[in-house]
Structure 1
């Protein structure tokens, strides 16, 4: 069962990389990932219902890690598509206010419905003592006061709590997505507040930084390629206190540049070689 987990995660990452290069916008990428993940989940469901589980451990692993890894990404991309299609502007105050509103709603949901729940604390602490209760079929207990959503799930393919794990995964991804849409001024809680970083700021163009982010992602330079574009860009935005807005559209405009499509990387190579030559001549 663990090899299935690794294969699913690897296949999703490959599809994300493929669509990141092909899609005309992040909206298009989110839609196509939603369709892809919906099909993946349907295929997995058919296999599980037809074949079942050979061991209790496999069943727990499936509902605690495998299914949530797919469903969490599906919830995330579907949410992103809905947010992108309703966005009132491409930039400016209205644009930032729109994403700030969604971020406030996400934080409110976390405060009111997530952080104080027994299950959330159980899952976050890495405990396993109640896994059989939470992640095996047929253990749903209505006396626990569960959300009414429980009456709509397919009890042959859900323990209810697998969905809650998927929501935790999705909300983390949505949070990262929303913070990259906002400037540091609009979202001060993601700023690095240390005094030693106050002199760090980006002095090239935003497109130059986007070019660098995509280059690092394309060659798996960060976390062996397991970290997505938007998470990498968020780190740079926080470090340099700069807003990159929709890096996906900017990247696709770069692909149609006249002349060199990698202006900044070409400049980096030239500047480094020139610096090396100066060092040799000292």
Structure 2
């Protein structure tokens, strides 16, 4: 299952990245991406129903960690599509509209706070009830939509995990839109150097500096830091938070670029010292 899932996710991400680059019209791009994700989920469903799972642990891992990553992309892009196609005209109406969308995310968080805590603390005590098919517990306040879902390819809470992941991305998207509105008319930082490394590498660097608290005594917003790097090094980071989530989900080499930086610096120091 792991190899099939990783290969499928890689192909999906590659196809999405190609569309992000090649298709200029935002709505057409999102429509095409949604189509890709729906087809991908259909392929995974067919594989799961045909092959099954080796044991309960594999089933839990799939519905808690693997399926939600892909399904969250569908929720995210579908939400962005709705936000963009319903966006009003004018700066003030847009700000009010986007702030209402942020409040919707906050309400979902407040209404599902217990599960947020369960998931984000890596709790596993209820996993067999939450992430094994057919093991739902009505006492856990299930969403009505669960009973209308495909129970051969769903558990009581895999959708909620996907929703959590997607909502994080949607929040970053909306706040980035609001930030860009606030920056309209302000002079941009001059571009002196071009970043020629990978986007994943610079995002590793940005998050490591952010968590180290080296900007504004640790009070700088991650979006502001990312925007500064984009302007300073003439690079478009796209949905940098999604890339960061993918780094977190890596089983190996989560800090590949940072490890290479350290090794290269030490090597050069040793060479200069004649070692």
The aligned counterpart of 2:66 is 66
Aligned mates of 1:220, 1:125 — CA distance in 2? 26
The aligned counterpart of 2:202 is 222
1:7 Cα offset (Å) = 2.3
The 3 A distance-change label for structure 1 pair 234 and 28 is farther
Aligned mates of 1:12, 1:233 — CA distance in 2? 26
The 3 A distance-change label for structure 1 pair 151 and 203 is closer
Q: CA RMSD in A?
A: 3.5
Asked if 2 retains the 8 angstrom alpha-carbon contact of 1:27 and 1:80, the reply is no
The aligned counterpart of 2:168 is 172
The aligned counterpart of 1:100 is 99
Aligned mates of 1:219, 1:237 — CA distance in 2? 13
Secondary structure of 1:222 counterpart? helix
The 3 A distance-change label for structure 1 pair 219 and 165 is closer
The aligned counterpart of 1:36 is 36
Aligned mates of 2:93, 2:43 — CA distance in 1? 41
1:219 Cα offset (Å) = 5.1
Aligned mates of 1:66, 1:58 — CA distance in 2? 10
- 1:129 matched to 2:125? The reply is yes
The aligned counterpart of 2:213 is none
Aligned mates of 2:34, 2:134 — CA distance in 1? 29
- 1:162 matched to 2:158? The reply is yes
Please, what TM-score do these two structures have when normalized by structure 1? 0.66
Q: Which runs of 5+ in 1 are unaligned?
A: 188-200, 241-246, 249-282
Aligned mates of 1:170, 1:178 — CA distance in 2? 12
Larger radius of gyration: 1
1:150 Cα offset (Å) = 1.8
- 1:182 matched to 2:181? The reply is no
1:220-241 CA-partner distances (Å, limit 9, x unpaired) = 432469x9xxx9866434889x
The 3 A distance-change label for structure 1 pair 220 and 239 is closer
The 3 A distance-change label for structure 1 pair 217 and 162 is farther
1:143 Cα offset (Å) = 3.2
- 1:10 matched to 2:10? The reply is yes
The aligned counterpart of 1:244 is none
Count of matched residue positions in the alignment of Structure 1 and Structure 2: 218
The 3 A distance-change label for structure 1 pair 62 and 216 is farther
Asked if 1 retains the 8 angstrom alpha-carbon contact of 2:27 and 2:81, the reply is yes
The aligned counterpart of 1:270 is none
Identify the structure with bigger relative contact order (alpha carbons < 8 Å, sequence gap 6+): 1
Aligned mates of 1:216, 1:160 — CA distance in 2? 45
The aligned counterpart of 2:112 is 114
